[in-house]
Chain A
Amino acid sequence: MSLKEKDDMDHEGWMKRKDLTPVESTFLVALIWMDKRLRIVDYLELLENLYYKVNMQMPKSHTEQYDLDNKFWYWYPLYALGSFSTLAYIVAAVSGALLGFYYAPAQTGDPSTAYNSITFIMTDLQFGFMLRSIHRWSAQVMVAAVFLHMLRVYFTGAYKEPRELNWLLGIVLISLTMVFGYTGYLLPWDQLAFWAGQIGVEMSLSIPLAGEWVAQLLFGGFTLGPATLQRMYILHVFLLPFVVTSLIAIHIGIVWVQGIAEPH
């Protein structure tokens, strides 16, 4: 018996016998190379298993089950509102990331750096005016779409068993969407932003028991200042994007598994 390691599965010979196209053989070489190191075939198998589990359990639609001719229900166009929210969210995310290249939440100077960076975007930056406009409008459209989506779900009774959890998740999402809008509203640090912020501080201060703590946490104090703007900025561009993106993914994942509620 030789000490030389023997390749009992002769993958290369197998590939030779197969008479592969260049694309196929490149793919296989890469796959085998990765698999030797990371054992990815196991993980692919897990994924495959998951895919079939989800899809085999996929509900059968009423119309398929009873072999009905597919009746058109006049509410169906409204079933696109959820995806419309997602789409507006994506547009807002992309335009927001671009705006973020030019915006600074600093409050030095008079008017503040924050305010100045917005006027810079609007007047000097190529395409900046449009960029801000797109960000604004996609945010507004998203909120509107989410409201309407919620109404659609309400009036088609789509929140009933087994979809209660998705409804609750939706409540969290719509609240966070509005917080998203609110924090963004403060960022230009113009008069409207400042006084809307003032109302926010007063509202949090008037929460029973936890008021002062909440004001301190969210607004960085009991009066508005540089800390407020900094916190709104971090909420708006760091915390909320992570949280809301994950929640939307879970929300849609649940819809995927449960199927779209049908009118019976």
Chain B
Amino acid sequence: MSDTNTNTDTDTDTDTDGTEARTDGSGGPGIVAPDDETPSWRERKERTTGLSRLTYEYFERARREDQDLRTESDYVERDVLAFPTWPHETVRNLSIAAFFTGMIFFLSATMPPHIGSPANPSSTPAIILPDWYLYWSFGLLKLGPLNPELAILGGEKITADRTYGVLANVVVVGFVAIVPFLNKGSARRPVEQPFWSAVGVGGIVFAFTISLLAVKNLMPMDVDLLFDLTFLLPIVATTVTYAVLKTMREGYMYDLNRRYYRLRPPK
């Protein structure tokens, strides 16, 4: 930022006579007419200390930064690249809203749900399952065989299998949550970031395989094989995706870069 700005930050006694653009709304008519003793808004701010002081200072800097950006750049508005939600997105979405709702009604009319026999605590059914969207979580509860056994504890497991499963859920959700803090930069398209796209595809395949593991007693398949495939398939998918995107990347990035530099020629 410019020097003038640092001046206003540190030097509190300088002019309040309006040679600079004011961003704090002072200068306009107040609600109560000020007499000579009444401090102006600006003076009041300057008398604050601590956190509120810092807030005001940052506020001024941010305003001035915006102002500089506006005057400096060729852009009409802030240099944020995005589609306006209105009308671009909203109009499209509203126009297909009725279609979507109709689809839900169609599904409901053609495939109504049924209800099982009433709850009976004394007879455990052979198959206990949650709704399909929780299968992955249910599958993570069945990772018992991966629970490490410690030799010092005489082969005992540190945590119960079930605790281990609950922790696995926390780990998976936690990992997904911190993705934005691991993958930074401006790449957006999958070809621009083969690694993270490959991780994503691996994640999807894992969600499927772990769900199948959850229903292992329904699968016409050897359970050990299923267990191995649960972890092998995602790895295979990750590798294949990575290889494919990496191969596509060169040609694709050439095009993208050409467009990009045509738009923003290097200075």
Contact = CB atoms under 8 A, between A and B. Distances in A.
> Lowest 8 CB-CB distances: which A-B pairs, in order?
A259-B82, A111-B118, A194-B119, A59-B80, A133-B108, A83-B93, A133-B112, A164-B180
Contact of A199 (B96, B128, B188): B128
For chain B, which range describes its interface: under 10, 10 to 19, 20 to 34, or 35 or more residues?
Answer: 35 or more
A206 to B, nearest CB: 4
B109 to A, nearest CB: 7
A51 B141 CA distance: 49
Interface string A125-148: 000011011101110110110010
Interface stretch (B35-43, B51-59, B129-137, B149-157): B129-137
Contact of B188 (A80, A158, A181, A256): A158
A253 B193 CA distance: 29
A171 B177 contact: yes
B197 interface: yes
Interface in A162-192: 163-164, 167-168, 171, 175, 178, 181-182, 185, 188-192
Given A80-B92, A159-B180, A87 B100 contact: yes
Contacts, number: 217
Contacts of A157: 183, 187-189, 192-193, 196
Interface of A: 56-62, 65-66, 68, 79-80, 83-84, 87-88, 91, 110-112, 115, 118-119, 122, 129-130, 132-134, 136-138, 140-141, 143-144, 147, 151, 154-161, 163-164, 167-168, 171, 175, 178, 181-182, 185, 188-196, 198-199, 202-203, 206-208, 224, 255-256, 258-264
A130 B180 contact: no
B77 A154 contact: no
Contacts of B163: 206-208
B105 to A, nearest CB: 7
Contacts of A175: 173
Given A65-B75, A157-B189, A189-B119, A181 B131 contact: yes
B218 to A, nearest CB: 14
13 contacts: A59-B83, A111-B119, A118-B115, A122-B115, A133-B112, A143-B131, A156-B188, A171-B173, A194-B121, A196-B128, A199-B130, A208-B167, A260-B83
Overall SS of chain A's interface: helix
B186 interface: yes
Contacts of B82: 59, 61, 258-262
Interface centre among A155, A182, A191, A263 (most CB of B within 10 A): A191
B86 interface: yes
Contacts of B123: 191
A132 B49 CA distance: 60
A133 B119 contact: no
Contact of B134 (A115, A138, A182, A198): A182
A65 B73 CA distance: 12
Interface in B80-116: 80-86, 88-89, 92-93, 96-97, 100-101, 103-105, 107-109, 111-113, 115-116
Nearest to B169: A203
Given A79-B92, A194-B120, 6 more contacts: A79-B89, A137-B104, A147-B133, A157-B187, A203-B166, A260-B82
A92 to B, nearest CB: 9
A134 B105 contact: yes
Given A59-B77, A151-B204, A160 B186 contact: yes
Contacts of A87: 97, 100-101
